[in-house]
Chain A
Amino acid sequence: MNSLPSFETTAATSAVPTAAVHPKITGRNVNVFYGEKHAIKDVNVDIPERSVMAFIGPSGCGKSTFLRCINRMNDTISICRVTGDIRIDDKDIYDRSLDVVQLRARVGMVFQKPNPFPKSIYENVAYGPRIHGLVKSKSELDEIVETALKKASLWNEVKDRLQESGTGLSGGQQQRLCIARAIAVSPEVILMDEPCSALDPIATAKIEELIDELKQNFTIVIVTHSMQQAARVSQRTAFFHLGILVEEGTTDQIFTNPVDTRTRDYITGRFG
């Protein structure tokens, strides 16, 4: 591990991070290819435990792609190839012996586009606990569903219509339903891909509150296009550009004193 306290980058390799006290997730020389397209280039990153890390960067720079590597969702894309080393709690998640289903139960995900199942609101949230056999009784399940919906600040809007279809909700409600669905299985890590892109400021504030609360127990990685949001919720921030992790550091440092000119240009809105 590189011990220089520097965030300088070469063209293709991001510096090996140092700041994380106890990394939950570590990525080393991660490369991702979609067929011929090289979408992630030699990314090195440490994501500390029980904290929020934000990925920012212009559209198409590979934030979602990298996020999906962390719970191996890229496995479902046949042309996608991942090389390098990604570890959670020092275990290689691309190891052959690792059970990807278990991994995804530990590393939950909220997708960029809301994707509720065509089932009732209740069944959407109960889905995870059911398949993992987390509950023994109906009342226990009711409890989990209610807690998850409350945490996602959706409970008040849907408590009288739990049996109605989840796809009948508004876009923002659907996104909060997906958040509730993810936290209902109480994962250790939650990956959120622009969870607030369809939400109004009030719901956004509630989700940010939720993220703040969740970080007591969980490790959270969030992709966002809102600089303010990254600044508000995250402890560390990573800036991606064209598949390269340009700069990574504490959120304060990135937003007040970025080292790389590309980072400075991006956060001051000079390009995007």
Chain B
Amino acid sequence: MFLTLFGLVLAVAVVCFFVGRSRAVAVSGANYSALHSLPSYHGWWLVLMAAGPAFAVLVFWSLVSPYLLRPMMLSQFAPQLTEFSAAQLDGFWRDIQAIAGGGTPGVRDAFREEAAAAYQSTNRLSLIAMVALMIVLGAVGFSYAWNAIAVHFRARHRVETAVKVFLAASATVAILTTVGIVMSLLFESLRFFTMVSPLDFLFGTTWTPQQMAFRTDQVGGTAAFGFIPLLTGTLLITFIAMMVAAPLGILAAIYLSDYASPKVRAVGKPVLELLAGIPTVVYGFFAALTVAPFIRNSGQSFGFDVSSESALAAGVVMGIMIVPFVSSLSDDVINAVPQSLRDGSAGLGATKSETIRRVVLPAALPGIVSALVLAVSRAMGETMIVVMAAGMAANLTINPLEAVTTITVQIGTLLTGDQEFDSPKTLAAFGLGLSLFVITLSLNLVALRVVNKYREQYD
């Protein structure tokens, strides 16, 4: 139904465009230059005024009417529904919708058939009301817009304003979604922090939420929600990953942009970027099956005690995974440094590497820093490699040869399997999510400050 109506509105809009355009041509007496705005703007103006309100009604009504219809139906059949629990009411509502729509309901009986018939007639009424409203608004808008079209009518300004409003609305939707996500993160975290003290969470050094399940009667108990081991694990793995990715990525970018012949570059750059296309789970088993045993074996031959899952294995593989993030972006910013600067330096007798170290890299530094920040955020958010190669044990250690776990991995484990939605164990995921969000956000802010400061100085 919605799609049919949408198609109709669209067809009307197309017609309006041509009508508006030819109307503008007509009022100008085919003398375009007399018109304040080009004829096509008058066409758009008519579209906006005639089809715009109808379209808005269609969208709004379709979104809102289910929420109005449901209480209406439930109150109409309230006497028969007194015994129903909330879940049963949901089922009943689904059933009558299914019967009315010709689908397969969970339960079909005379009562539900009757309710479905009532639902259908109400629904039809509401649909008729909506279409009537669309037609009326469309007609009013059309006649107003039609009469407004004149030689001096400023259709261009109206259309530009409408475009601006539309763009602003799109931006608002995006921003509001983000705000909504952050808000829900905040509220769920607040619920978590009413059950577990924020101090215990932020400064606790043991993380054993799994024990919760055995002691549902006693909140707190031996289940501990100390976030420190996860934080150190995350930072440790991220640090190892960046120790691999930063030098490899930046050096590869320098090679590709300044040393490689065009042929090598044409092959090398896509191949490097291919690394970013490999699914992380593939990196995960590469880490678990190849790198981790290698590290354990070589560690043992030096007499170190290495567990089969280690932060080192996960970090190194993760580092390789994010090399393309660093190299690709750095390569772009290094390439964007003008050739004239390189020439200026070479013209003074600087060698290629002096030029790169003293002129190109400083000029590209802001961009390189943002590439690194992006890579760090990526490393912190990575889950799969850690699960497979670094384990799930929340050890508080900075020894890269031991098993550790990270914030994201724990969020994953907390939310897999059947969970009660209001137990601290589940809500802890939101607490962790919030902390990860705060960490990445502050990292970005700091990097932004650094970059801006550097820009002020040099650009």
Q: Known: A117-B359, A118-B458, A167-B459. Is A127-B345 also a contact (CB below 8 A)?
A: yes
Q: Which positions 292-335 of chain B face chain A at CB distance < 8 Å?
A: none
Q: Which of B340, B341, B344, B359 has the most CB of A within 10 A?
A: B344
Q: Known: A76-B342, A115-B340, A117-B359. Is A182-B348 also a contact (CB below 8 A)?
A: yes
B contact residues around A181 at 8 Å (CB): 344, 348
B157 to chain A, nearest CB (A): 39
Q: A105: nearest residue on chain B (CB-CB)?
A: B349
Q: Known: A113-B340, A165-B457. Is A118-B351 also a contact (CB below 8 A)?
A: no
Q: A72: nearest residue on chain B (CB-CB)?
A: B346
Interface status of B160 (Cβ within 8 A of chain A) = no
A contact residues around B363 at 8 Å (CB): 117-118
Inter-subunit contact B348/A128 (CB<8 Å):
yes
A contact residues around B345 at 8 Å (CB): 117, 127
Identify A108's interface contact among B340, B347, B362, CB under 8 A: B347
Interface status of B450 (Cβ within 8 A of chain A) = no
CA distance A261 to B62 in the complex (A): 84
Interface status of B417 (Cβ within 8 A of chain A) = no
Inter-subunit contact A132/B349 (CB<8 Å):
yes
Inter-subunit contact B348/A185 (CB<8 Å):
yes
CA distance A127 to B341 in the complex (A): 12
A239 to chain B, nearest CB (A): 25
Interface status of A215 (Cβ within 8 A of chain B) = no
Inter-subunit contact B348/A111 (CB<8 Å):
no
Q: B354: nearest residue on chain A (CB-CB)?
A: A131
CA distance A116 to B362 in the complex (A): 13
Inter-subunit contact A104/B346 (CB<8 Å):
yes
Interface status of B343 (Cβ within 8 A of chain A) = yes
Interface status of B204 (Cβ within 8 A of chain A) = no
Query: Count of A-B contacts with CB under 8 A?
Result: 72
Interface status of B358 (Cβ within 8 A of chain A) = yes
Interface status of A26 (Cβ within 8 A of chain B) = no
B contact residues around A165 at 8 Å (CB): 457-459
Inter-subunit contact A127/B347 (CB<8 Å):
no
Interface status of A109 (Cβ within 8 A of chain B) = yes
Interface of B is mostly: helix
B contact residues around A71 at 8 Å (CB): 347
* Chain A interface residue bracket vs B: 20 to 34
Interface status of A73 (Cβ within 8 A of chain B) = yes
Q: Which of B340, B358, B458 has the most CB of A within 10 A?
A: B458
Q: Which positions 343-376 of chain B face chain A at CB distance < 8 Å?
A: 343-351, 354, 358-359, 362-363
Identify B343's interface contact among A73, A78, A127, CB under 8 A: A73
Inter-subunit contact A128/B349 (CB<8 Å):
yes
Interface status of B262 (Cβ within 8 A of chain A) = yes
CA distance A255 to B343 in the complex (A): 33
B338 to chain A, nearest CB (A): 7
Interface status of A262 (Cβ within 8 A of chain B) = no
Inter-subunit contact B338/A104 (CB<8 Å):
no
B contact residues around A109 at 8 Å (CB): 347
A contact residues around B351 at 8 Å (CB): 101
Q: Which positions 113-165 of chain A face chain B at CB distance < 8 Å?
A: 113, 115-119, 127-128, 131-132, 165
Inter-subunit contact B358/A73 (CB<8 Å):
no
CA distance A116 to B351 in the complex (A): 18
Q: A168: nearest residue on chain B (CB-CB)?
A: B459
B134 to chain A, nearest CB (A): 59
CA distance A167 to B347 in the complex (A): 18
Identify B344's interface contact among A101, A106, A117, CB under 8 A: A117
Interface status of A228 (Cβ within 8 A of chain B) = no
CA distance A102 to B350 in the complex (A): 9
Inter-subunit contact A117/B354 (CB<8 Å):
no
Q: Known: A73-B343, A117-B341. Is A131-B348 also a contact (CB below 8 A)?
A: yes
Q: Known: A131-B358, A165-B457. Is A102-B349 also a contact (CB below 8 A)?
A: yes
Inter-subunit contact B458/A167 (CB<8 Å):
yes
B contact residues around A115 at 8 Å (CB): 338, 340-341, 343-344
B260 to chain A, nearest CB (A): 12
Interface status of A178 (Cβ within 8 A of chain B) = yes
Q: Known: A78-B262, A115-B343, A178-B344. Is A131-B349 also a contact (CB below 8 A)?
A: yes
Inter-subunit contact B340/A111 (CB<8 Å):
yes
Q: Known: A113-B340, A118-B458, A167-B459. Is A105-B348 also a contact (CB below 8 A)?
A: yes
B contact residues around A131 at 8 Å (CB): 348-350, 354, 358
B contact residues around A78 at 8 Å (CB): 262
B256 to chain A, nearest CB (A): 15
Q: Which positions 427-449 of chain B face chain A at CB distance < 8 Å?
A: none
B306 to chain A, nearest CB (A): 46
CA distance A76 to B363 in the complex (A): 19
Q: Which positions 249-279 of chain B face chain A at CB distance < 8 Å?
A: 262
CA distance A111 to B344 in the complex (A): 8
B257 to chain A, nearest CB (A): 14
CA distance A115 to B351 in the complex (A): 18
Inter-subunit contact B346/A73 (CB<8 Å):
yes
A contact residues around B362 at 8 Å (CB): 118-119
Q: B338: nearest residue on chain A (CB-CB)?
A: A115
Q: Per-residue 0/1 for A64-85: is the Cβ within 8 Å of any B Cβ (1 yes, 0 no)? A: 0000000101001010000000
Q: Which of A108, A115, A132, A178 has the most CB of B within 10 A?
A: A115
B contact residues around A104 at 8 Å (CB): 346-349
Q: B455: nearest residue on chain A (CB-CB)?
A: A118
Q: Per-residue 0/1 for A92-115: is the Cβ within 8 Å of any B Cβ (1 yes, 0 no)? A: 000000000111111011010101
B94 to chain A, nearest CB (A): 64
Q: Known: A118-B362, A165-B458. Is A101-B349 also a contact (CB below 8 A)?
A: yes
Q: A103: nearest residue on chain B (CB-CB)?
A: B349
Q: B352: nearest residue on chain A (CB-CB)?
A: A101
A27 to chain B, nearest CB (A): 19
Q: A165: nearest residue on chain B (CB-CB)?
A: B458
12 contacts between A and B (CB under 8 A): A78-B262, A104-B346, A115-B343, A117-B341, A117-B363, A127-B358, A128-B348, A131-B349, A131-B350, A132-B349, A167-B459, A181-B344
Given contact pairs A117-B345, A117-B359, enumerate 7 new A-B contacts (beta carbons under 8 Å): A73-B343, A104-B347, A118-B363, A118-B458, A127-B350, A178-B344, A185-B349
